[in-house]
Each structure stands twice: as C-alpha cells, then as structure tokens.
Amino acid sequence: MSEYIAPLKDIRFAMQSLAGLDQVVALPGCEEASPDVVDAILEEAARFSGEVLSPLNRVGDTSGAKWKDTVVTTSPGWKEAYGQFVDNGWNGLGCDPEFGGQGLPNLISTAVSEMWKAANHAFSLCPMLTQGAIEALMIGGTDAQKVAYLPKLVSGEWTGTMNLTEPSAGSDLAAVRSRAEPVGDGTFKVFGQKIFITYGEHDMTDNIIHLVLARTPNAPEGVKGISLFVVPKFLLNADGTPGQRNDVYCVSIEHKLGIHGSPTAVLAFGDNGGAIGTLVGEENRGLEYMFIMMNAARFNVGLEGLGDAERAYQRAAAYARDRIQGTEVGVKGGPKVPIIKHPDVRRMLMSMRSRIEAMRALAYVTAAAQDNAHANPDESQRKQGQAFADLMIPVVKGWSTESAVDIASLGVQVHGGMGFIEETGAAQHLRDARITTIYEGTTAIQANDLIGRKIAREKGATILALIAEMRAAAAELNGDLAPLGVRQLAAIESLEKAVAWIVANFSADPKAAHAAAVPFLHLFAITAGGWQMGRAAVIARARRSAGDSDPFWPAKLSSARFFADHFLTQVPGLADVVVAGATGALEIDDDSF
C-alpha cells in the first residue's frame, strides 16, 4: 500500500505564482519567513507527513479510538506521533509569538496543514480544533485566560475543543440548553450534554481545554442568549499545572462511517455537582466568539477536502500505473497494458487531478488574502483582503469537500472491484471524506451564507469586483490558449447572470433563492477554479516559451485544458438551474415525498 507523498512542486507553484508568497512574506511581522525558512518548513512537513503520519492513517482506520469507563485511548502509535508533532513545534507555526508561536503567515501554515490532512485526516483534526480554541481566546479571552491557557495550547501540550452541538441542538444553535450558573468571582458551574465533540477525550495530552456554549440564568431565548465558557478537563493549580479533575466526562464515543482514529465524544458536564468554567468575553456574546473558531474551522475543513482528494488521487494513480489489464485501444494484437493507458481511466484521473489543482489554488489565494487582511499596512488592502476571504471561505469549504467525495469515489472506481475491498485503502478515503461536507455547517449552510451575507447583503459588490478581475485574467488566454479563454468567458457571463438573479430574488423570493444556493456555490466555485487554472496556464506557457523543459509545465497546461473542457462547460447549465430550478423542488406537496 503506497504512502502519501506531498506534491511539493504544485504546492510551491500555488504558493509562489498564484497566491503571491513574496508579497505575503514582505508584510509587517512576516520577516522571519525567508525563502530558505519556507523551503525548510515545507521539506520537513513533507517528510513528517509521509514518514510519520501517513503510516498511521491505516492504523487509525482499522484500530480506531477506544472508550472504556470515560477513558479514551487513541490508536497505536498516535500518542507518540503527537508527541513528535509537539516537540517539532508544528502546532505553533502560525500562532502569536507572544504566547510561544512562530508567527508565520497563514499561507505557509495552510500549505503545511494540507499535508497533515492528506497524510492522516483523522489525526489532523486534533490540532485543527486546538487552533480554533486559540483564535477564540486570542480575540475574546481575558488576560488571565490567555496567560493560563494559550502557551500550552500554542505549543500543543494541551488541546482544545469546540462544544456546540447537543442532542436537540444541531445546526440550530438557538436550541442550546446547556446552562451555566454563576458561583462568584467570574466562575460558573456548567451543566449539560454535548455531542459530536472531536477529540473531546483522548490520551495524547495531560489536559483538554473545552470551549462550551451555554446559557446563564437570565439569558434571553435564542442565539442572543448564548455565552461561551472555558471548561478545562483538569482545573489548574496555582502554578498553572493540571490539578483537580473537573466535572466533565466522556460518556461514549461515536461509531462513525470514517475517520475512525478521531474520537468523537459525547461529553457530560456537571453530573457530579457542576463543571467549573470561566466566561469568555461578555455574557450573551458566545455565538459571536464561537464563530471565530467556526470560520477558521470552515476554511480548514475545506483543506480536509483538498487533502482527502489528493490522497485518493495519489493512490488511484499509483494503482493505474501498476494494474495490467486489457490491450491498448486501437492497437490490434498489442500486449496487455497498465490501465493508465485506457482513455476512461485517464479521464477519471484528470478529473481528479485538475480539480485538486484548482482547489489548492483557490485555498492558497484565500489564505494569502487572510494574511493581507491581518497585516497589510494599507487599510484599503486590508479591507479588500477581508472581503475576498469572507466571500471565498464558504466556497473553499463547500466546493472542496463536495469535490473530495466525488474524487474519492472516482478513486474507488479506478481500482475497479479492488476499490471496494478495504485492503487497497481506496475505500477509506471515500469514508473519511464523507464527513467533510457536514462538518462545521453543511454545504447548504455554506451556500446560504454565500448568497445571503456575502452577496445579497452588499448587492454583490465584492463578487462583481472579482468578476471584473476574472474577466481581465481571461483576456490573457489568447493564442494557443484561446479555447480556454472562450470557456472561461462563457462561465464568467453565466456567473454574472446568476449573481444578478440572486441579488434580485434573495428578498423577493427567498425560498427560490435558497433552493438555488448550492447550485450557485458550485457554479461560482468552478468559475473561480477556472480563473486560477487559467492564470496557471498563462504562467506555464511563458515558462515553456522561455525554454524551461520541466514536464511540470505541459502537465499544468493539460490540467487547465481538461478543467476548462470538462468543468467550465458545466457552468452555463448551472446558471439555468439557479435561475429556473427552484420550481421542481418547491412545488411538490410534502406528502408526496
């Protein structure tokens, strides 16, 4: 069974040529990210992901996490691997140096995160949740909370969780019923049960810091009455070390379709008198703070989709090179050949490959926009970066994860009957990828956010500015790249049509607009992916014209052409779905389902 090999050449290309790494590392506070430092980080991350995390991926899938009497034991080798992860400083890569982080740009940590997720999706979830806890405490935490928790969270010595979901409160957080009763000195006792808590209990660290949504006694109903609390597994001694066990226990872990190595816990708070917690920020603003974690998590779940897709592609391509079956089409009496010679296998592999390259480019460009939103000295550039990132995060999350499920399914198909056999490993990627379209808000939630908060609320201002940028880029697709330009312009025109319909109908016909939301997300994502693939094609053409004989460049041109011919051609049809497709979904009577 092959192990993951980080696609460093394409990662570097996306970072440097598409996301503008040089501009990002020139931002204030990013001076330490010299070319030598960045190269060393990528090389070592590739080694760690391939040699340490990838071999444990299958172990996690077959062994899984184990629960007994409130104690969770991770898969063999995971605790030791996590110890190496912490010792090597990976957890603090992009964190604030004030609390022990390295302060590197988000673009760099994004590339490294992709490698963790591709090598071992289930393992990568633990540091991902910790990063969300760090973000929430950095923005909403008190000075005392920051001093008590951030150094250990940044180092990875402690891990963090998000506690939103309850048995009766899934995506509808207004239904949260966990309660927090004040006991004085800013301390509360928390009571309730939370479900689907990723790494809510494990044996890899000596403390787990839970961020928990709950209601105080006089809180108003609905989302405006939710507060956020820090509830550690172990209360802290005066010297900051873990002390007395808090009243929060894991009563079970879920038995899941995939990501078996990641313990998904059911946590009970306060069954023995109350779990001690402290308020984060102000009362009744908990959802606001939690969405700090949520937004970062949504982007990172998009990277999970990218990682799962890359891993499924690598496994399928390796199998297609090795599997001998059939003769080559058009060669009478020829020898048996590897299936990679068969046209439909090539079509499937290119369908996987081209989308992965487009997904990677969009994610990295979005990461660079986040860096500019945070650190660019020009206020207008900060605002522009934030607006672009806000627009693209639901797209990166929604499209990358939906594509990952299809790409992993194609990976099974490339294997043929062997893909349905667990020993080949192809099925694991499909099972693991399936959760990503649900995590941190389903695809519909991402799409509703996109058409509502990100487009209709501002009458399409940000996306129309992006469309103008796309159209300018498409003008460079001339000469031998003209067929790509034709496809791209047709997609842009269809996107513009769909945006106009969303802006006109979001308030006037909200049900129709929301029925069109997911098709619109796909339409926008494919067009944006084509924009990036077109930019890549222009660069590849220039490099070849300059005499660069690296096979990377013709392969990039082939990917761009395939994406244009097989995916950009879908966009006009999706625009028709957006404009006219709601009727069939909405007119049928409920009882007819």
Residue 248: give its domain's CATH number. Answer: 2.40.110.20
Amino acid at 506: F
113 and 86 within one domain: yes
Of 439, 48, 431, 52, nearest to 260 by C-alpha is: 431
CA 218 to mean position of chain CA atoms: 36
Q: Is residue 181 part of a domain?
A: yes
Same-domain pairing of 38 and 100: yes
- DSSP per-residue string spanning 137-204: HHHH--HHHHHHHHHHHHHTSSEEEEE--BTTBSS-GGG---EEEEEETTEEEEEEEEEEEETSS-SS
pTM above 0.75, yes or no: yes
- Clarify whether residues 259 and 144 are in a common domain: no
* Number of domains observed in the structure of the chain: 3
DSSP summary character for residue 576: H
Is 318 contained in some domain?
Answer: no
Buried b (16+ CB within 10 A) or exposed e, 93-114: bbbbeebbbbbbbbbbbbbbbb
Q: Per-residue confidence of the chain (593 residues) as pLDDT tens digits?
A: 689 999 999 999 999 999 999 999 999 999 889 999 999 999 999 999 999 999 999 999 999 999 999 999 999 999 999 999 999 999 999 999 999 999 999 999 999 999 999 999 999 999 999 999 999 999 899 999 999 999 999 999 999 999 999 998 767 777 788 999 999 888 999 999 999 999 999 999 999 999 999 999 999 988 889 999 999 999 999 999 999 999 999 999 999 999 999 999 999 999 999 999 999 999 999 988 888 778 888 999 999 999 999 999 999 999 999 999 999 999 988 999 999 999 999 999 999 999 999 999 999 999 999 999 999 999 999 999 999 999 999 999 999 999 999 999 999 999 999 999 999 999 999 999 999 999 999 999 999 999 999 999 999 999 999 999 999 999 999 999 999 999 999 999 999 999 999 999 999 999 999 999 999 999 999 999 999 999 999 999 999 999 999 999 999 999 999 999 999 999 999 999 999 999 899 999 999 99
Indicate whether 163 and 148 sit together in one domain: no
- Of 220, 251, 283, the residue at which a domain comes to its end is 283
Same domain (yes/no): 474, 545: yes
* One-letter amino acid for residue 560 of the chain: A
Instruction: Return d(Cα 399, Cα 195) in angstroms, integer.
Output: 26
Residues in the chain: 593
Same domain, 450 and 581: yes
Write down the catalytic residue from 3, 440, 476, 496. 440
Are the C-beta atoms of residues 467 and 492 closer than 8 Å to each other? yes
Range of the domain at 187: 159-283
By CB atoms closer than 10 A (0-12, 13-18, 19+), residue 332 is exposed
Q: What are phi and psi for residue 191, nearest 5 degrees?
A: -130, 140
What are the tokens at 282? 């102000």
Q: What is the DSSP letter of 15?
A: I
440 is catalytic: yes
Question: Residues 508, 574: one domain?
Answer: yes
Nearest by Cα to 179 from 226, 248, 220: 226
Looking at the fold, whether 506 and 467 belong to one and the same domain comes out as: yes
Strand, coil or helix: what is 219?
coil
Query: Within this chain, do residues 189 and 117 fall inside the same structural domain, yes or no?
Result: no
Going by C-beta distance under 8 Å and a sequence separation of 6 or more, which residues neighbour residue 90?
A: 45, 48, 112, 116, 127, 156
